[in-house]
Amino acid sequence: MSLLRKLYKGKDYRRAFSIEELRLVGQRRVPNFTFEYVEGGAETETALHRNLDVFKRYSFKPSTLVNTDGRNQDIRIFGKASPSPLLISPTGLNGLLHHRGDVALAKAAAAAGIPFCLSTVSNASLEDIASEAGGRLWMQLYMMNDRNVGRDIISRAEKAGYEALIFTTDANVFGRREWDLRNYKQPGKLTARNVLDVALHPRWINDVLIPHGIPLFENVVEYLPPEMRTVKGGVVSLPGMLAPDISWEDLQWIRDMWPRKLILKGVLSVEDAQQAASMGCDGIILSNHGGRQLDSCVAPIEVLPEIVQAVGEKLTVLIDSGFRRGSDILKAIALGADGVMLGRPTLYGLAAGGQAGVEHALALLTDEIDRVLGQLGCRSLDELGPHMLVDNQPYINR
């Protein structure tokens, strides 16, 4: 790792040949407190590491002597064509990585023809994203203690033409991310070491802090007390904003209000998936929030087959958490996922090179998908299935 870091010192994102290398470029360009906010997981980070390691559990069984010329990786999500099985997951505080980070991510998604999900705690308003970026836009909802905030976001998203609403359910109790806690001596106050580190990143200061000042939580700014409106210490104050008492009744309340596609994010059990289907959801996202919430949580791909078997006919089943390679993505598609969402990979691109860096991240992954698809002897994603995978779990457990 440290050798790789040295090799990538000063390198630009175009020289990153994998998401891991892009991560290293991004790390060098932003201050430590920002990078650790993106990178960190909850507590011992067991779930975070499990998300990354779990892909070793599955190996491919390719077919040979198949003509794979003219491959494509097209999918359809909610009846619309997408040129790749990728989507960008909602992430908050993107403005800390790059000026107007949400806009950069949304524009990169629009350029790639894939859906972009805007977080409730974004640094650009949902209206600005719609007017500046366009493309397929989905809005993520964190339920705040004041339900009027949720009501307002839902009606604004409808007015602005958002295609889908994602209700995130796994942050009812906020994960304890110890790297974040360590970087602040109190809410909004970085430790001296981190202040010095910020000073050592003049390019970041010029991009993110000057001339616009510290990024605001623009979607929800009017609902917050003045001291909580900026991302300054937002990583520490965020937990207090979210409602701990969300329940299936909230889902019903949302379903009654939101007329378009509704997706539940944070589903990891067959029972919850079935409940989502019975309450009129259109899709679910199997996610453990990138290992940032419940530590020691199952990796979503481990429960994918049973959930697809239970609700795959009724719901669009998306998945995120830990996808870093085209091969990871194809394993999930082979196990029945309708699409794969990216959290950190596109954030590494954003940190490394703004919109162009995000485009680079997406290009790396679609290129890998294309190559692996060909090596598997497939011309399209429809040809993948569980029969192309060996589950090594029995051997690992021996």
Q: Which residues bind ligand FMN (CB under 6 A)?
A: 38, 51, 89-92, 119, 121, 140, 168, 265, 287, 289-290, 292, 320-323, 342-344
With CB atoms as reference, the residue minimizing the distance to ligand FMN is: 343
- Which residue out of 98, 99, 201, 289 is catalytically annotated? 289
Would you call 289 a catalytic residue per the annotation?
Answer: yes
Helix count and strand count (H, E) for the chain = 17, 14
285: β partners:
265, 318
User: If you write DSSP's letter for every residue of 231-288 in order, what string do you get?
Assistant: STTHHHHHHHHB-TT--HHHHHHHHHH--SEEEEEEE-SHHHHHHHHHTT-SEEEE--
User: CA-to-CA distance for 106 and 227, rounded, in angstroms?
Assistant: 28
- Please tell me the distance from the alpha carbon of residue 321 to that of residue 302, in angstroms, as a whole number: 11
Tokens of 273: 């998936």
- Residue type for position 380: S
In sequence order, the β-bridge partners of residue 82 are: 75
Name the minimum Å distance from CB 269 to ligand FMN.
17
Looking at beta carbons only, is 136 or 378 nearer to ligand FMN?
Answer: 136
Residue 7: CB partners within 8 Å, gap ≥ 6?
Answer: none
CB of 362 to ligand FMN, least distance (A): 13
Q: Tokens for 294, please give them.
A: 């419940």
**Catalytic sites, residue numbers:** 289
